[in-house]
Each structure stands twice: as structure tokens, then as C-alpha cells.
Structure 1
Amino acid sequence: MSNDTPLFSRPVRVGDIPNAGRRFSITTTPEERDAVARLLGLPAVADLTAKLEVTPFGRDGLAVGGSIHARVTQTCVVSLDEFESTLDAPVDIRFSTDGVDPNAELDLAELTDPYAEDPPDLLVGGQIDLGSVITEFLALALDPYPRKPGVEFSRGEEDPASSPFAALKALKSNDE
């Protein structure tokens, strides 16, 4: 296996999808979940499944819709304790040979309408990888600042005398 081969891969060729589309029910192996956890910087991924439908899009593209379900272990940003959370996320993405190359420079003028539909992603080599799609949508569903349930952030007691403004006030008092 080369270093460019993802550890969680489910390739689908455009020519293998009938006009009516095709349903995929994907269950990951422990090795695949470990690879996804490492890639996303998570302590663990206990469960990762997807129910997807792949349909033709345009002349030579594919559309993927459905949902993913995951049980992941995250690290609380407040307490640094690990905790398990469950995620259910929708999947909706399109691929086309004339889609947007993710490595190309962005045209900021195209990003002015926040309600505009996303352009299709670039379809390369006549296939897509459902493993990559699942991993991407899991990453998007993760809370970037996860908190263990019941944990609150508290600032603690501040000593007003240690405030930088208190030092400025003291300087002003000395000048008067």
C-alpha cells in the first residue's frame, strides 16, 4: 500500500452507478476507525457508519446524499477529560469533472453570497472515495471546542489590585 492510499477507502466509479442511483450502507472496521481517529486528532472512534445514496449528477458526475452516525471520544477543552459523544450528520456533496479543484486558488468574488449553493467538487479519474466523503463530513460535524457534559468554564476570582488598569490608576494618582 502506498503512502497516498487512504486507510479508510471505499472507491466508487462513475460507470458503476446506474441512472436510478445506488445505495451504500457502510460499516467501518476497527482499523479504519483508528485511522480516522488519528487523522482527526481524536482519542478514539468507537463507531462509524453511513447510509449513502450515490446518483448521477450532470453528464459525468456523481452526487452523494445521506447521513453518517458516529460515536467518538473527544477531549474536553475545559477539563482535558476524555468523554464520548454521538454524532449524526447529513451528507450532501456533488462531484463533476468541471468542478472546483480543492488545490486551486479561491476567487473571493465567488464567495460573496453565503446562501449560494456550493459548486461541485472536482471529480478526478472517474471515481470518488466514499471513505473520504464520510471522513470529511465527520470532521465538519465535530465540535471544534468540545466540552464534557456538565463541565463549566469559570474564570475564578480576580484580584482588582493585580489588574493592569489598577497599575495605571496608581500611576495617575502619583502624578496628581
Structure 2
Amino acid sequence: MSEVWTHPFKMGALARGPVTLRLEPDAATLKALAPKLGVRAVKSLSADLRLRTWLDGVEIGGRFQAVVEQESGLSLEVFDQTVEGPIEVRLVPAGSPNAPDPEIEIELDPESPDPPEILEGDTIDLAAYVIEHLAVEIDPFPRLPGETFDYTPPQDDDSPFAVLKRLKDDHG
């Protein structure tokens, strides 16, 4: 997805201290993102990020907010859905002693932070992390607010076994 929207950030920029950024793609980029995210349209997207050094790498924190146009899986009506969430990423350079060891099995705890990702090179594509976090938060089975699925099974059971049972009961 990063070919649609990129925002490279050089790690060396953190030498002077933490950096705060606001990312907002232009209209053409929003249009190009929609099919990549599986929605009808991305009407708005913004992310407020703060970057700071972390161990021998970088920590990216912040929040994103977007408005996406989706189609209800129940009524097929089109509606706008606000999607928002936190962004929390830690990166360390390849070969770092703080990188997770691929030989050791990691026990995942949903309450603990994710292990750091490995950074190849000295440039981070911040837009890719915003898109990744947005994609995770988009509801894959959207419904209009308040819309519920009410299914009532048919009263007549026309399975072959039901027909045989009725025949047996009628001629029993």
C-alpha cells in the first residue's frame, strides 16, 4: 500500500529531540487509497504522530482519524463511518541487541506492547504505518448504526427427511 501514499522520515532528524508531525494525504491520494482498503471512498484521513528515540531505535506514537464510505452488508445502503485509533510502533535497526530473536518463541500477551519491528535502513515510511493501522480498524462487515440482522428460519421444513416424516405420519 505504501506506493499509494508515502511520507519518508530520516532517523537522523531525531538527533535534535522528539518530532511531532501531522500527516494528511491530498484528495487524489484519498481516492487511490479506497480500493486498497476495500471501501467505497476515503473521505478524510489525518494522523498526529510523535517520534522519539527508543533504546537504539525509534518509537512512533499518536492517533489517526478517518472517515470512510462503506456499504452496509445487510441493507446495501451507503454510509459514512468514522474510524479512529492509536498508533504505537517501536522500531530497532537490523542487528540491534534489542531486536526480537527469531529463534526464541514469543509468548503473546494482548495487554503488553508489541515487540519492536526491524528497521531496514535509516528511513521510515510513516504513511505506511498510518495506512496499516487504519486498515486494521476498518470493519470488514459494516452495518448502518443501529442496524441489526434479524433472521427467522422458515417455518416449513422441506428437507427430504421432513417430507418422509410427514408421509410416515400421514400413513402411519
Shorter-chain-normalised TM-score: which range? 0.7 to 0.9
Aligned to 1:47: 44
Find 2:13's aligned residue among 5, 11, 16: 16
- The answer (yes or no) to whether the contact 2:10–2:124 under 8 Å persists in 1 is yes
TM-score (norm 2): 0.82
Aligned residues: percent identity? Answer: 31
Q: 1:81 aligns with which of 77, 82, 93?
A: 77
Residue number among 135, 142, 148 corresponding to 2:144 in the alignment? 148
Where does residue 125 of structure 2 map in the other structure? 129
| CA apart distance, 1:80 | 1.9
Counting only pairs closer than 5 Å after superposition, residues 31-70 of structure 1 correspond to structure 2 as 31-59=28-56, 61-70=57-66
4+ residue runs over 6 A deviation = none
> Shift of residue 55 of structure 1?
0.8
Q: Distance in 2 between matches of 1:129 and 1:6?
A: 10
Q: How many residues align?
A: 168
Seen in structure 2, the aligned counterparts of structure 1 residues 49 and 5 have a Cα distance that, compared at 3 Å, is: closer
CA–CA separation in structure 1 for the residues paired with 2:48 and 2:19: 11
Q: CA RMSD in A?
A: 3.0
Consecutive unaligned residues in structure 2, runs of 5 or more: none
1:27 matched residue in structure 2: 24
Residue type of the partner of 2:42?
V
| Cα gap change, 1:151 to 1:58, in 2 (>3 Å) | same
In the TM superposition, residue 23 of structure 1 has moved relative to its aligned partner by: 0.2
Q: CA separation of 1:165/1:57 partners in 2, compared to 1, >3 Å: closer, same or farther?
A: farther
For structure 1, the 5+ residue unaligned runs are none
Question: Would you say the 8 A contact 1:18–1:55 is kept in 2?
Answer: no
Q: 1:69 to 1:165 in 2, by over 3 A?
A: farther
* Structure 1 residues 107-118: aligned runs within 5 Å: 109-118=105-114
1:45·1:71 contact (CA, 8 Å) conserved in 2? yes
Specify the code of the residue in structure 1 equivalent to 2:124.
I
TM-score, structure 1 normalization: 0.80
